[in-house]
A and B are shown apart, each in its own frame.
Chain A
């Protein structure tokens, strides 16, 4: 597949709107530029007409899998009238929607065959990015109010169908293109997703961890981590620490729960991980405090300089840990506690004061 057009790179989101003779949206990096060939992978059925859509895998020159693609022509039906919609859809290697293109010669259309405008294409892309859309849990008969538009005293004629669109649906679909929005969303997020996952799993299981752990995409990192056991984690510890620092909270929490108990035995690893305390999210902070038992004692002192970042309960757990094992309280830790106790900035300094007062007895 040749990419004739330049794509516009926006921070964190690579996308390009209507350009030349097509509309093109893409969420990932330079994968499309690396494509050298595509191979047929599998097909999945269209629920409207039982036609099978063919999905192919796009490969790079080094035979690395890059993306999945389906060139889809699907009927979109409303009120007994059907028309074809043409769209090429990309998925990543985990079946997540990655982008689409539509040709201006065969544009997507709205009610009364009006072609999509640029903002309609943009809205379609946004809709497809939401895998949790309400469209996933509504059957086609549940999209519009059961009473016809005229009975609902809505203006008939232009956009009559969408006038009767249920309120919660209307806000997510493209105005005047209810069934197009619905049909395409269901195709993109339907059966194909599991098929992509299992295709990839079947053909690339042996290289999954290596391919995915170092990839810049969270969905891939998740898949890698899911496939890893303790020995893999120890093998890749630098990458694991890097991911711990830079990931989103959900991933970080998952990663932390996967760490083998001895991961933090090593002083340097403990330092690297605990030094990130101030930069990470609050739920992960809780986990770091909970894991003090497993960490190298260096962690205690590192955290003592970060108390100002702790919630009330986190501070309580930290102080409880200190009272359980006084030997871990170094001079510097004690000094840091003293400083926090005197602080007017920190909301919970009174707890440190209480702790130190008890300690003095």
Chain B
């Protein structure tokens, strides 16, 4: 009991028990009016929830606000879960304040390192309906996960399991969804691979659920990340043309037109139920068969359970496989594991000893020239990363990977590192007179990944398959684009910034990927398409581009339709129905 409790005993009488203390947890992402704040659901598995981020590129964003109802009026402690995303000897970059009704709490938030509950202060609340407002002070990625108003003196749990269960208790949200939906095929992850899989399956008459955690489709090809699609169409030109992009520079706003095309095309399929802003958070297998996938709306928190006989993991990060115990790999195999040497590049290409290095993630960005001088603020917290590097745009080689960072578990730190690289390098460039008219026009806040978990299938596609140009009886994907594997520049030249990379290209004739790389070795009803398909680190070097991953998706969609026809798992399509399957694919030309 906190000190002032006795004083408010009158107010407490209106609650059911004399000692009951009212409290309210409000998830920031559920705010009714988000103003200029954006919902960031990228790191839910690590920090526990989607959150709101003030991504203003140096200009404070419009306030976010919401209404909420308290059980009782009175005196409340206010906690805000937030993070100083670059702790150090400077003013924290992402600061904001909280207003309750008309009172702005004096405490400036976003100032404490690590995801944590910041104590915003105590406040007397005289109405049960309250208004909360988050005001961004800096425009540099302040973040707010949740707000907790409580009459109790106890601090909410810091993190981990206890925070998770506490959160559910507070929100009266059960882990298991109440609502269950049944489909023929559930596709998780609406990148190019997931879209293609959904379309192919829907065209063959399957009832498909496509679950995607963003408001728009396309993953890295979306107008939120803006990578253009490379590779050939293989056998699936018609389908892939519905969802791919023109060849514009990465980061170009031309991505918006292709976005419209993709969204409209996918939505035009009546057999596809599209669950946007919905992030899968669990999947359960029994006897090596996936029973269901559970997903949660990224703003409302509403949960749904998706049941189906077959599932496609096109999350890029292999989440469905990971949750259900599918075999997967991460990092670089030793050069001898699959015979993937390229003598000229030795360790940079494939190491003698295996390690946990993978290709890095990127944040694309661009600037625009205005007619008047544009000011960009000082960003001392970015300079440790940017150092004296100057830049006015970013391309694919703005990439970050390091051996103490995991591309999934540390994705937030990786994204934040790239933001510091961008803001710092742009600040440096702005010190030159010639750049005085430049303004940061667009910086993605979504981290574009290249490589993380790779699920293991009946065949592991490797560099050797490229070099040998192996033709498989089940070659369903084909590609002619060069294989490229990246390394961080600072490995060979420590004076280079740590956020730039170099690509090593291996020129190739046409190579093929077998269907057996597109379903799990040990989970009997799991397909995978996209960069989490079954391959080695070097094997991913070529086919990770998005027309190739799109081909994988389409191939999987057609295979799934035969699974339905024969009521079998993916492996049996290879074993017993291969000629019919190959014929079906041939017909797509």
Which A residues form the contact surface with B (CB < 8 A)? Answer: 131-132, 134, 136-137, 193-194, 197, 222, 226, 248-250, 253-254, 257-258, 281-283, 286-287, 311-314, 317, 344-345, 347-348, 350-351
Contact = CB atoms under 8 A, between A and B. Distances in A.
Contact of A283 (B347, B482, B491): B491
A320 to B, nearest CB: 13
Where chain A touches its partner, the secondary structure class is: helix
B109 interface: no
A222 B346 CA distance: 10
B492 A250 contact: yes
B89 interface: yes
Nearest to B504: A132
Contacts of B410: 313
Given A132-B504, A226-B352, A257-B355, 10 more contacts: A194-B343, A253-B347, A253-B491, A258-B352, A281-B490, A282-B402, A286-B403, A286-B404, A313-B405, A314-B404
Given A137-B482, A286-B403, A257 B491 contact: no
Interface residues of B, number: 34
25 contacts: A132-B504, A136-B505, A137-B482, A137-B507, A222-B346, A226-B352, A248-B493, A248-B494, A249-B492, A249-B494, A253-B403, A258-B353, A281-B494, A282-B402, A282-B498, A283-B402, A287-B403, A311-B402, A312-B413, A313-B405, A314-B404, A344-B89, A348-B87, A350-B87, A351-B114
Contacts of B355: 253, 257
Given A132-B504, A137-B507, A348-B87, A250 B347 contact: yes
A317 B403 CA distance: 13
Contacts of B490: 249, 281
Where chain B touches its partner, the secondary structure class is: loop
B359 to A, nearest CB: 15
A317 B491 CA distance: 22
A344 B113 CA distance: 12
B347 to A, nearest CB: 5
Given A286-B403, A313-B410, A347 B86 contact: yes
Contact of B344 (A131, A254, A313): A131
A347 B403 contact: no
A132 B507 CA distance: 12
A137 B505 CA distance: 7
Contacts of A283: 402-404, 491
Contact of B348 (A250, A257, A312, A344): A250
A250 B114 CA distance: 31
Contacts of B482: 137
B492 A347 contact: no
Nearest to A226: B352
Given A248-B492, A250-B348, A347 B87 contact: yes
A229 B348 CA distance: 21
Interface string B478-490: 0000100001001
B22 interface: no
Contacts of A287: 403
Contacts of B121: none
A314 B352 CA distance: 24
A189 to B, nearest CB: 8
A347 B344 contact: no
A137 B491 CA distance: 23
| A-B complex: 3 closest residue pairs judged by Cβ atoms | A137-B507, A313-B404, A250-B491
A250 B488 CA distance: 10
A359 to B, nearest CB: 17
Interface string B349-383: 00111010000000000000000000000000000
Contacts of A222: 346-347
Given A282-B404, A313-B404, A248 B491 contact: yes
B435 interface: no
Contacts of A312: 413
Given A222-B346, A314-B404, A344-B89, A249 B491 contact: yes
